[in-house]
């Protein structure tokens, strides 16, 4: 069992990182949301695999919540917002795609160097995934600062949260259930508020480009 489980967990962790790179690579808003949903699905399955191989039942709940909220509900909400305000389908990065990809690769190397000592001393079966989850966090941050539209920034935040969740899973088999529930609630509220914000930004400026927010002064 152990060999197969480790293979499956490693494969899903690699898929989460791969989807983070896809989020950087894609130039379409709709694809961006779909890829984010795929990443959350992979993360949910990863959590389920960890739950199966360790036998901790609370990880099952977290896995189910991840798939339900992050892979189904949140993408739906973002889609609704995009339909309501008729967002153009282009991502509008402020760093061009090939350079973005190379920067994301550099961030992945950085994450590996930072995480390597921790991996050596880690005892959980998922310790190897720590470097990948740090890379996902950094790439999420990079998406937030290098994309102009408000919605892409929301997705960057969600990607960071996915990375943090995977880091928690890989270091200590997840946080206590009550903390996880709090984080989920947080994320839901954040997405709803961001949805309203995006709506207001669009109403005020007729665009989602956040660089226009600099005009918000007297």
Partner 1 sequence: MADLVLALIQTAALLALAPLLTGIIRKLKAWMQSRRGPPIYQPYLDLAKLMRKGSVVSEDSSWVTTITPYVCLISMVVAALLVPAFVTESLGFLGDLIVLVYLFAMTRFFTALAALDAGSTFGGMGSSREMLVSSLIEPAILLSFFTVALLTGTTSLVSVTSVIATSGASLIGPALLLAFAAFLIAVLAENARVPVDNPSTHLELTMIHEAMLLEYSGKDLALMEYSSMVKLTLFVTIAWSAFLPWGVATEITAPALALGVIVFLAKLLTLAVVIAVIESSMAKLRLFRLPNLLTGAFMLAFLAVMSYFVL
What Cα–Cα distance (Å) separates residue 139 from each residue in 105, 111, 157?
9, 10, 10
What Cα–Cα distance (Å) separates residue 137 from each residue in 63, 120, 161, 175?
19, 20, 7, 17
Q: Please, which of residues 13-52 interact with partner 1 by CB under 8 A?
A: 13-15, 17-18, 21, 25, 27
Nearest distance in Å: CB 101, partner 1: 5
Q: Does 104 bind partner 1 (CB under 8 A)?
A: yes
Q: How many residues bind partner 1 (CB under 8 A)?
A: 26
Q: Which two tokens stand for residue 133?
A: 């989850």
State which residue, 64 or 101, has the beta carbon closest to partner 1. 101
What Cα–Cα distance (Å) separates residue 4 from each residue in 79, 112, 125?
37, 24, 12
Q: Does 108 bind partner 1 (CB under 8 A)?
A: yes
- Where residue 55 falls (left for φ over 0; alpha for ψ -120 to 50; beta otherwise) is left
Selected binder of partner 1 within 46, 51, 87, 131 (CB under 8 A):
131
Place of tokens 């927010």: 213
User: Residue 76 and residue 79: Cα distance in Å, rounded?
Assistant: 5
Q: Identify which range of 6-14, 70-78, 186-194, 207-215 contacts partner 1 by CB under 8 A.
A: 6-14
Q: Does 102 bind partner 1 (CB under 8 A)?
A: yes
Q: What crossing angle do the helices spanning 150-172 and 129-146 adopt, rounded to 10°? A: 170
State which residue, 25 or 164, has the beta carbon closest to partner 1. 25
Nearest distance in Å: CB 206, partner 1: 28
State which residue, 94 or 97, has the beta carbon closest to partner 1. 97
Residues found near partner 1 in the complex (CB under 8 A): 3, 7, 10-11, 13-15, 17-18, 21, 25, 27, 97-98, 101-102, 104-105, 108-109, 112, 119, 128-129, 131-132
């Amino acid at each position: 069992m152990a060999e197969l489980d480790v293979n499956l967990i490693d494969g899903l962790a690699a898929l989460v990182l791969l989807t983070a790179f896809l989020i950087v690579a894609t130039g379409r808003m709709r694809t961006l949301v779909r890829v984010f949903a795929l990443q959350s699905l992979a993360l949910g399955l990863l959590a389920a695999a960890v739950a199966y191989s360790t036998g901790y039942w609370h990880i099952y709940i977290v896995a189910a919540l991840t798939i339900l909220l992050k892979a189904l509900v949140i993408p739906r909400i973002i889609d609704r917002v995009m339909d309501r305000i008729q967002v153009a389908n282009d991502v509008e990065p402020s760093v061009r795609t090939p350079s973005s990809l190379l920067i994301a690769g550099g961030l992945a190397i950085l994450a590996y160097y930072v995480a390597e000592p921790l991996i050596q001393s880690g005892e959980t079966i998922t310790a190897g995934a720590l470097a990948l989850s740090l890379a996902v966090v950094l790439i999420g941050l990079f998406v937030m600062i290098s994309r102009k539209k408000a919605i892409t920034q929301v997705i960057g935040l969600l990607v960071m949260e996915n990375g943090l969740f995977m880091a928690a899973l890989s270091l200590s088999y997840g946080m206590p259930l009550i903390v996880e529930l709090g984080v989920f609630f947080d994320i839901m509220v954040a997405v709803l508020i961001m949805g309203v914000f995006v709506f207001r930004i669009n109403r005020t400026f007729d665009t989602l480009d956040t660089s226009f927010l600099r005009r918000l002064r007297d």
